[in-house]
Amino acid sequence: MVELNKQIKFLFFIPLVVIISVVGQCNAIRNSDSLEFLIRNTKGIQKVQIFLQLSKLVSDTSPSAGFIFACDALKESTQINHPKGKADARMLIGDYFKGQRKYLLSLEFYLGCLKIYTNLNDLEGVLCAYQAIGSLSTLLRDEKNAIIYFQKGLALANSYHKLSWTGIFIYELGRIEQNKGNPAKALEQYKKSLTIFQQTGNKKLALSVYISIGSIYLDQARYDDAIVFYNQLLNLNEPSILLQLGSIYTSLAHAYEQKGLYQKAISYNFQALNIRKKLGQIEVCNSSIINIAGDYFFLNKIDSAWEYMNDGLKKAKANNRSYLLENGYRNLYKYFFSRNDLKNALFYYQKFAAIGDSIIIDKNKGDIAILEVNQRIQSIEEGNSILAQENEIQLLSLKNQRFQIIFLQVILSLASIMIISSFFQYIRNIRAKKEIQQIYGRMSKEVTELEVANKLIREQEWQYRFLAENSVDFITRFDKNMNRIYASPASVRVYGYTPEEILQKTTYDLTHHDFYDYAIKEYQKMLSEKKSRQLIYLALRKSGEIFWIESVLNPVFNNKSGELEEVVEVTRDIQERKIKEMEIMEGTKQKENLLKEIHHRVKNNFAILVSLINMQKDQTKIPEFIQSLTDLQLRIRTMALVHEMLYRSKDFENISFREYLKSLSAVITGTFNRRDIRLSFDVQDITMDIEAAIPLGLIINEILSNAYKHAFPDNRPGSILISLKEQADDSELCLIVCDDGIGLPKSFDLEQCKTMGIQIVIILVKQIEGKLTIICEQGTTVKIIFSRA
């Protein structure tokens, strides 16, 4: 502890040194020591660097101030044409929008800085952008896109032998595997990245990997491994471990709590509280206080427990920390339940459930925001596809028009050549009157055909002009300098400006300022790719109204030089379509939330029924009645488990029956507490709806309960196998539950058996239209074949 105190003092000494350094620099500025004077008297790249450093310094404590400094850096970089500063500022702005949950804007800025870093061949910048885009995709639950960017970064880091970045991207891929529920793959990636960080001497990143590995051990209930692992972390001689020391002590306490060693647990919780107080970590101090109270309860030191619990709950309520209140009420519920004080247990369980509901609602809001972003991205992509098809049609029409003009020019040229040739032929062959008359007749015919062609061209020109002037969409043409040279009358309907007025307006006059950068980027893509681009953005009407529009830019390039000659733009008002899309999305979200809430409420009602039955069991001494109530609890839990899995699932109609069967078996095994009976599974991954899952779960509950109660008397060891597989034609499923116990009596007759459990099985098998068979050979085998719903 003496060495620890020295390290803490050293940690607090660092900010003092930084302050002294800043003061020294400020004193060097003559006549003023203010930040405003420093910024006003600095120019160029140095001024950009000041804005960037200020943004990084204040972003953690004041995100809005950091955003303003980053915007100032972007503005200054644009004025002096400093690409590196633009990219760094865009990265910071993207981080701000990510924190504000404006994920689309964040993604746009990340992609923008990635492009700049790529053009500058800035390796560190490209790697940083890959990590930022991958992390944002992970937050949006787009693991596929996240893996693509992390693998790009990993390949780039490997090719340039950037060992630290290689470790970072391997660590990020490990986190994705952990989020996907693949702890073995995640642990493999963590160990690879840990080896790299140890080679490069980066102890701070190595510590992050250690903590992630420890979390996997805790998730897998490997508490002994977790205890050994966290004790190894405590022996690391690394100053940066001080900030994580409280979390390490808390994790050790949690491991000992799960093992039932509460004296050990409370010792580590006190150490966590002391270190967090010294470091000024107020919120996690509150968590440690509630943890200590829970340990005192289980150590039966009630006075100390209530002293810490009241203090912890008071602070949690004052600071609106729902998850701490949930932890405190959970500890109180468990304590009173263990003391058989069901009244208080039910009281604190209701508080615990209410807090849990509020936390779930907050989490749902975050999930809904992510869902909205993904839906919006998908909607934009679908709109882009439709407009691209329309653009191809318009390009084909323009190509046909150009072909007709070229054809007319050729005909006119040929006609001119023929007239001149005829004239000279007439001079040379004045005596050949008959031949000249024949030539004249042919010329007259050709002139007639030419007049017909000209008339047809004029009619087609009139049709094109009619379409342009009467189209619902606004059509405009720009020259190569993006000055308007034509505007259709639809400008009045779309923008409120007459064609003459709108010819004096630039594209920026009609575009909302939030979409300037977006419009510039799309225009540059059009020039580089030499393809049409589709834009969806906010525009401004003459009245000042803001509305959504959809524009398609069609570039026209010179066939020989390849230079831009003009741009044809077709614009459509999509305000009503946007409103309808938002209404549809909102209706869908409300329905999903309502269905999820129904499953949650049904699950809670079942839990209350189980608690009430427990109270009834405690009030009776009749073994047969207690057993009947226990059987009833198992049946209720069987139905409640279906609703719980539907509530947790993204699909609110179907569940994985393999996972449901394992959870149900764990409940039944825990009820009978027969460790000498081994339970194994051979179950295919089959999904079922609630109509099929509940009766089938009740059937398995009755059969498995009977096996535990009757198949292995006098603590006789044995094994039970549960199998569920598809039949050969995939139209039927086969459920088998078999044991190697004492078997059924020889006089057993399924038709004559009147026990409640067997009757329930028979009724439910009829409900699912199945066939029941019981075989008594070397134990008991129950086989049910039923149609797949």
**pLDDT tens string 74-125:** 998 999 999 999 999 999 999 999 888 788 888 889 999 999 999 999 999 9
Query: Residue 89 and residue 273: Cα distance in Å, rounded?
Result: 39
Query: Residue 706 and residue 758: Cα distance in Å, rounded?
Result: 9
CB contact at 8 A, 509 and 520: no
Query: What is the CA angle 366-368-373, rounded to 5?
Result: 100
Query: Residue 631 and residue 625: Cα distance in Å, rounded?
Result: 10
Q: Which of 139, 154, 135 is nearest to 196 (CA)?
A: 154
Query: Residue 680 and residue 718: Cα distance in Å, rounded?
Result: 11
Among 573, 589, 617, identify where a domain stops: 573
CB contact at 8 A, 519 and 533: no
Q: Which residues pair with 476 in a beta bridge?
A: 487, 569
Q: Which residues pair with 546 in a beta bridge?
A: 540
Whether 569 and 662 map to the same domain: the answer is no
Report helix, strand or coil for 535.
strand
CB contact at 8 A, 674 and 704: no
Q: Is residue 390 part of a domain?
A: yes
Report helix, strand or coil for 482.
coil
CB contact at 8 A, 539 and 511: yes
Whether 666 and 537 map to the same domain: the answer is no
pLDDT digits 0-9 by tens, 599-608: 566 656 666 7
Whether 246 and 394 map to the same domain: the answer is no
Whether 397 and 273 map to the same domain: the answer is no
Q: Is residue 739 part of a domain?
A: yes
HSE toward the beta carbon, residue 244, CA cutoff 13 A:
22
Q: Is residue 139 part of a domain?
A: no
Mean pLDDT by 10 residues, the chain (789 residues): 40 34 36 61 85 86 86 91 92 90 86 92 92 87 87 92 91 87 87 88 80 82 84 72 78 87 89 83 79 85 86 79 77 80 79 68 51 51 51 63 72 77 73 73 76 75 64 85 88 89 86 89 88 90 90 89 88 86 71 59 66 72 74 72 64 76 84 85 84 83 85 88 84 89 78 76 86 85 84
Q: Which of 497, 633, 641, 494 is nearest to 573 (CA)?
A: 494
Whether 272 and 397 map to the same domain: the answer is no
Whether 548 and 668 map to the same domain: the answer is no
Tokens of 663: 């959870």
Tokens of 536: 């969806």
Tokens 């912890």 identify what position? 312
Q: How far is CA 117 from CA 125, 298, 753, in A?
A: 6, 58, 78
The domain spanning residue 702 has which CATH number? 3.30.565.10
Query: Residue 341 and residue 387: Cα distance in Å, rounded?
Result: 68
For residue 555, the surrounding DSSP H or E stretch is strand 546-557
Whether 453 and 566 map to the same domain: the answer is yes
Tokens 């149900």 identify what position? 664
Among 279, 301, 319, identify where a domain stops: 279
Q: Is residue 131 part of a domain?
A: no
Whether 275 and 388 map to the same domain: the answer is no
- Determine the distance from the C-alpha atom of residue 285 to the mean position of all C-alpha atoms in its chain, rounded to a whole number: 31
pLDDT value at position 14?
A: 34
Q: Is residue 430 part of a domain?
A: yes
Q: Is residue 163 part of a domain?
A: no
Please tell me the total number of residues recorded for the chain in this structure. Answer: 789
Report helix, strand or coil for 774.
strand
Whether 426 and 567 map to the same domain: the answer is yes
For 443-449, the CB contacts below 8 A with 24+ separation are 443/418, 443/419, 446/415, 446/418, 447/415
Domain span including residue 723 = 657-789
CB count within 10 Å of CB 245 equals 20
Whether 553 and 679 map to the same domain: the answer is no
Positive or negative, the CA dihedral 45, 47, 53, 59 is negative
Query: Residue 196 and residue 290: Cα distance in Å, rounded?
Result: 38
Task: Write the DSSP symbol of residue 236.
Answer: -
Whether 262 and 392 map to the same domain: the answer is no
Tokens of 649: 């699932």
pLDDT value at position 120?
A: 92
pLDDT value at position 433?
A: 74
At 586, the amino acid letter reads E
Name the pTM for this structure. 0.41
Query: Residue 505 and residue 35: Cα distance in Å, rounded?
Result: 40
Q: Is residue 547 part of a domain?
A: yes
pLDDT value at position 4?
A: 39
Among 521, 549, 573, identify where a domain stops: 573
Query: Residue 114 and residue 121: Cα distance in Å, rounded?
Result: 10
Edge-to-edge strand list for the sheet holding 484-487: 484-487, 474-479, 564-573, 546-557, 533-540
Whether 671 and 551 map to the same domain: the answer is no
Query: Residue 786 and residue 789: Cα distance in Å, rounded?
Result: 9
Q: Is residue 684 part of a domain?
A: yes
Query: Residue 619 and residue 5: Cα distance in Å, rounded?
Result: 56
Task: Write the DSSP symbol of residue 246.
Answer: H
Q: How far is CA 414 from CA 353, 408, 421, 424, 446, in A?
A: 90, 10, 10, 16, 10
The domain spanning residue 439 has which CATH number? 3.30.450.20
Task: Write the DSSP symbol of residue 472.
Answer: S
pLDDT value at position 357?
A: 62
Positive or negative, the CA dihedral 237, 242, 244, 250 is positive
Total domains in the fold of the chain = 4
CB contact at 8 A, 96 and 68: no
